[in-house]
């Protein structure tokens, strides 16, 4: 059995197509993951700020 240059090129193109599809799918997943992390971070930061702004300070003095 002989392996021809055309056979190698065809197989390489097939592999490159599969890698390209996998890269596109992974890229979409990464973008969604980063967006979700940013949204969670923003909610955390705004909630932290709002909690400081609306909190009351109570001082307790011990008498006696």
> What are 3-61's pLDDT values in tens digits?
899 999 999 999 999 999 899 888 888 999 999 999 999 999 888 766 666 566 777 88
3-state secondary structure of 60: coil
Determine the Cα–Cα distance for residues 2 and 21; give it in Å rounded to an integer. 30
Given this model, what pLDDT does residue 25 score? 85
Backbone dihedral angles phi then psi of residue 4, each to the nearest 5 degrees: -95, 160
């Amino acid at each position: 059995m002989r392996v021809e240059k055309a056979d190698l090129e065809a197989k390489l193109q097939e592999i490159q197509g599969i890698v390209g599809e996998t890269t596109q799918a992974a890229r979409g997943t990464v973008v969604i993951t980063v967006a979700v992390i940013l949204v969670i971070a923003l909610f955390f930061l705004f909630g932290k700020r709002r909690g400081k702004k609306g909190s009351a300070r109570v001082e307790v003095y011990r008498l006696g």
